[in-house]
Amino acid sequence: MNQTNPISPAPDKDWWRGAVIYQIYPRSYQDSNADGIGDIRGINARLPHIASLGADAIWISPFFTSPMRDFGYDVSDYCDVDPIFGTLADFDDLVITAHSLGIRVMIDLVLSHTSEQHPWFVESRSSLTNPKADWYVWSDAAPDGTPPTNWLSIFGGSAWQWDSRRQQYYLHNFLTSQPDLNFHNPDVQDALLDVTRFWLARGVDGFRLDTINFYFHDRHLRNNPPLAPSLRNAQTAPAVNPYNHQEHLYDKSQPENLEFLKRFRAVLDEYPAITAVGEVGDSQRGLEIAGEYTSGGDKVHMCYAFEFLAPEPLTPDFVRATQEKFGVVAPEGWACWAFSNHDVTRHISRWGANIYDSDGYAKLLSALLMTLRGSVCIYEGEELALPEADLAYEDLRDPYGIQFWPNYKGRDGCRTPMVWEKAAPNGGFSLVRPWLPVPENHLDRAVDCQNAEPTSVLNHYRNFLGFRRTQPAFAKGEIEFLIVDTAVLGFARRFGNETVLAVYNMSEHSVVADLPEGNWEPLEGHGFPSELNERSINLPAWGAWFARRA
């Protein structure tokens, strides 16, 4: 067992600031043993692809022991690898390979809840007096036998499940098989911090913290108030879900979480260069909570909310408003932006379903994402401009989609296997039938096809990430918006003595954009054609222009 990894990138404690993090959904990345499910050895074999992109780190979605009711987000053993994904030795090998390629490794910690099969819950539910009786959130029924509060589960229905063993309800913000831990119990916090130390000792470089604002619940079990219909957007839950009908004041985002995050950060700070990014699930206060959790340098390093993962169309005004709001509510904080991940419709389909030049649109969006102020998450297949898969009901595996079909088809459409080789069985993902089908329209976008095409979306990602590395202002600089209209977005990034200008045509039509005041020297190597006049730029559809203040 390799508890201390001998190969590690140089300990730059601020490597995360402006980093590009590549998210891997392990079930769908690469199957190495012909069982139809991706695994850790498969990821290890494909790390050169990620290195060729120029990503700084990988984030691996959960691979812990689990009954897989929610595909790894229901953990039954935090300190082991589920056999379908491999072994701890396989994980140790992956860390060594990644570090040898200059890639840091972040893993997904699911601390808010466990599987009902976790030994902690098995003991907790066994009686009212066992040593772990208070490790989960238990409550007596209301006098009429109904749940103790009106809290709702993100997966639909009440957030409370009756347990016949204890004759009490337990809280589950997600599936009934995912009981919530009781963070008000310090023993629970200590146990989870020990889990964190276990993985740090194995050489990981950081964590993505699932549902970071769900850790604590209101001690007094107060009911959530209703939410006005005009405020019921579909960021945290799909529009068909009654979860959106409440203002979630008491079932999550409690003030006690700040002290726990300080304890968590103190553990990370025992090591020289560890980071954490938190997922904030809140449709009304997401950015404000992200600001609270990343302030002061004593909590988590980065957070992301759902503004850029929501259905709302991406416009120059929306980009500016989101970025500037984060700057106001989190003046000391740092964002980690993503347009796609394993929980939402892929952004090429979510925003660009009716756009003719989908490749041009994909290139524009990738450049925009990589030049906003904050760090960046790229989701596997995004670099290929994969569209959302349209799956038949009988192919669904996601309990969320099965519950709300057909109005909401769940998350399987963004989780289909990665396509590596067009002519290989199942796109090169597996020699046998995969756990989810490989869409036919993904095969022409396979890695081998795009490797061979200099102007492909994949090669654009590589080229633009290379360009980004030559401009530190894009990774770490301040941001000021200079041009915002219905089609054009332009902003300056300032770092040290350098000021870099980025101008984007976010439309299907060519435009002429006036240059901001000052002398601007055009930059090369970004891959976007444009024509500079004396004080204006001719930008083609989905075009971009970059310059340095002379």
| Strand-pair category, 488-495 with 478-484 | antiparallel
Residue 542 backbone phi and psi in degrees, to 5 = 55, 35
**Exposure string over 160-179, b if 16+ CB within 10 A, otherwise e:** bbebeebebbbbbbbbbbbb
Q: How far apart are CA 121 and CA 267, in angstroms?
A: 25
Q: List, in sequence order, every residue forming a beta bridge with 73; answer none if it has no partner.
A: none
The rounded distance, in Å, linking the Cα atoms of 468 and 446 is 25
Segment 393-396 long-range contacts (CB within 8 Å, at least 24 positions apart): 395/436, 395/437
Give yes or no: 70 in active site: no
What are the angstrom distances between the C-alpha of 227 and each of 106, 174, 284, 368, 424?
36, 20, 10, 33, 51
CA distances in angstroms from 185 to 177, 182, 214, 251, 284, listed in the order given: 21, 6, 15, 16, 28
CB distance 371 to 502 below 8 Å: yes
Task: Please tell me the distance from the alpha carbon of residue 234 to that of residue 463, in angstroms, as a whole number.
Answer: 35
DSSP label at residue 158? B
Is 210 a known active-site residue? yes
From 180, 210, 307, 383, active-site residue: 210
Q: What DSSP letter does each residue of 60-74 carry, written as one string? A: EPP-EE---SSTTSS
- Tokens at 370, concatenated: 């990589």
d(CA 62, CA 59) in angstroms, rounded, equals 9
Cβ proximity of 469 and 525 under 8 Å: no
| Cα–Cα nearest to 473, from 370, 337, 332, 355 | 370
Spot the catalytic one: 12, 140, 187, 270. Answer: 270
| Unique residue bearing structure tokens 């915002």 | 484
Catalytic residues: 210, 270
